[in-house]
Amino acid sequence: MRQHPRGTRLACGIWALLAASTLAGPCQRVSAQTSEPLESPATPKPTPEQLSLANGWPDLQELLHLPPWMQLELSVTAEPLFNPMGGERSAGSWIQQGTFNLELSSGLNRPSASWRELDHWQLTATVNHDAGDAYYSGAIGALFPLQQAAYPPGFYLSEVSIERARGDGWLSIKTGILPINPDFVEVPVLDNYVHSAFNNTLNITVAGLPINPYSAIGAVVEAQASQELSLRYGLFDLNNTDSISRWLGLRDGALGPNSGTAQFLQLDLKPGSMSAAPLQACRSKQGVVRWNNKRGPCPAPVTVENQLHDGLLSVGGFLTSENGNGVYGSLTLPSGLPLGLSDRLWIGASYSPDASEVTPPSFVGGGVVIQGVLPDRPLDVAVFGIGRGGLSNQFSNSAYEGMMELGYRIQLNHGLSLQPTLQWIFNPSGAAEPLPGILAAGMQLSASF
């Protein structure tokens, strides 16, 4: 594997932080009040401890003394990866993505129930910068990138928008330079994965679609029937998806052919019974957090911060004037099985049968995300996923390229995590002359400020 001095310095720094950082210790329990003298003595009921991510991480809001109507976030994700066996050859890759996000609104730090009209309005600007080897997958014989940040190096103007948020109402509208996600297609639970086929957009690859960090001029309207049910419509002009990124230096043709328009319609259902509420657990006498209280009375109740996403049923479709149409859907829900402190099962699929380009027309996948697999690491998350990307007959005589991912995210605090990943690629590229399956291993390093 090639050596990358910048990556080595970053990795060493992260491991130094790992040695110095620990999850925030639970808050001290409040002592129960002493019983009145005339009452018989009773054993006080322990107050649950609060177990959450450490707060000793730099916060741009505090460091820059920003006003309450401004919210600024900087995040960096690096994904070093190598394949010791399989594919056309063994090789290594380093790629990273930085994201700068700015939000301006007088309603940012006010409860929506007290909003005035001005508080509903928000300006948003997002710029991404990608660096590294975006073509690693092709070099080793895989069709789909093994890293979610595998975009051509350069700056991307991913969003400049004005939005009227619904607040406690039922209608919201947003317009400007927009990507289709997170408003459409994105499945939040898939943010936990590294492989691009899993990570949040159900592997839709129709040419010209402005999937983040790419963007296009467009508008999105959302109607909220209730807290659980919403319907969203979007219209995008695909003629400018490439030109917008060229403003910041991206090379011509990075997105391939793009013209015409795209329309999206999506229905989301988020049952209140599947919300990601704080998790109830128990600290044992040995100091570890138990998965449940079925082993007997709990001497020290613990409330653990939930790192998972709400349950979600999402179905949608899109029409483009030139590059094909498609449908997609996903389901995220708790399994009900004793898998760690909490878990989410997911299944998802997409299908674009009449894509004009030589692209994969279908995807189907599923997996599980589990929090608290190890009793002494209740805030860490383990992931497993398996998927199948169907290939166009124009591209290959073979039917698919498959992928499997196993990972474990070590959450150091609210802004820093390490996630080792192990991937296996079945039938790489669907080539007429079969290639050996690819075994790849690496790390995702994420930091946000």
For 160, the token pair is 């400049």
Q: Is residue 71 part of a domain?
A: yes
Q: Is residue 11 part of a domain?
A: no
* Per-residue pLDDT tens digits for 307-325: 999 999 999 999 998 878 8
Place of tokens 């929090």: 371
Percent of the chain whose predicted confidence (pLDDT) is above 90:
49
Q: What is the dihedral of CA 24, 335, 312, 409, to 10 degrees?
A: 40
Q: Is 40 exposed, middle or buried (0-12, 13-18, 19+ CB in 10 A)?
A: exposed
pLDDT of residue 336: 85
Lowest mean pLDDT among 7-11, 165-169, 216-220: 7-11
Give the pLDDT band of residue 292 (cuts 50, 70, 90).
low
Average pLDDT value over all residues in the chain: 82
Total tally of structural domains belonging to the chain = 1
CB–CB of 236/208 below 8 Å? Answer: no
Residue that wins the pLDDT comparison between 18 and 155:
155
Residue 4 pLDDT exceeds 60? no
Residues 127-155, mean pLDDT to the nearest whole number: 91
* Per-residue pLDDT tens digits for 364-403: 999 999 999 988 888 999 999 999 988 776 655 567 889 9
Give the pLDDT band of residue 130 (cuts 50, 70, 90).
very high
Residue 182 pLDDT exceeds 50? yes
* Per-residue pLDDT tens digits for 47-100: 666 777 755 667 777 888 899 999 999 999 999 999 999 989 999 999 999 999
Q: Is residue 233 part of a domain?
A: yes
What's the predicted TM-score (pTM) here? 0.84
Residue that wins the pLDDT comparison between 253 and 360:
360
Q: Is residue 398 part of a domain?
A: yes
Residue 269 pLDDT exceeds 70? yes
In one-letter notation, the amino acid at residue 136 is Y
CB–CB of 349/326 below 8 Å? Answer: no
Residue 7 pLDDT exceeds 70? no
In one-letter notation, the amino acid at residue 298 is C
Residue 132 pLDDT exceeds 60? yes
Give the pLDDT band of residue 258 (cuts 50, 70, 90).
low
pLDDT of residue 135: 92
3-state secondary structure of 365: strand
Question: First-to-last CA distance in the chain?
Answer: 31
* Per-residue pLDDT tens digits for 345-368: 999 999 987 655 545 678 999 999
- Mean pLDDT: which of 196-200, 321-325, 438-442 is highest? 438-442
pLDDT of residue 16: 44
Q: Is residue 18 part of a domain?
A: no
pLDDT of residue 166: 92
DSSP alpha helices (H): ranges in 262-382?
none
Q: Which domain holds residue 276?
A: 46-448
Please report, for the domain that includes residue 393, its CATH number: 2.40.160.180
Nearest to 146 by CA among 198, 189, 98: 198
CA gap 239, 257 in Å, rounded:
9
Q: Is residue 5 part of a domain?
A: no
Q: Is residue 180 part of a domain?
A: yes
Cβ count near 37 (within 10 Å): 6
CA gap 189, 86 in Å, rounded:
29
Q: Is residue 10 part of a domain?
A: no
The residues, ordered by sequence, that sit 6+ positions from 243 with a Cβ below 8 Å of its Cβ are none
pLDDT of residue 408: 97
- Mean pLDDT: which of 42-51, 237-246, 270-279 is highest? 270-279
CA torsion through residues 233, 237, 240, 242, sign: positive
